[in-house]
Structure 1
Amino acid sequence: MNLFMKFITTKSFMPFVIYRILLGILLFVLVGAGVLSPHASESGG
């Protein structure tokens, strides 16, 4: 965690923001394409 804090204080917080946005878009695309199920963690009971 110390390395991350050092990175955002010396560089910028923007790479982390871009990474999170891209990850979110990727998840939406995978769920939309049927690759991932939004109910995968629910028990089928």
Structure 2
Amino acid sequence: MKFITTRSFMPFVVYRIILGIVIFVLVGTDVLSPHAGESGG
């Protein structure tokens, strides 16, 4: 937590945005299935 008090949140925000975009791209290109975590069929 000391890291957050000495640095800004900007790197964390950028990391989360990039991660979100990557996940949306993977789902959109059918690499990931949005229902992959569901059990049953």
What is the total number of aligned residue pairs between the two structures? Answer: 41
Unaligned runs of 5+ in 1: none
Show the counterpart of 2:35.
39
1:11 matches 2:12: no
Unaligned runs of 5+ in 2: none
Show the counterpart of 1:23.
19
Q: Which has the higher contact order (CA 8 A, sep 6+)?
A: 2
Q: TM-score, normalised by structure 2?
A: 0.86
Q: TM-score, normalised by structure 1?
A: 0.80
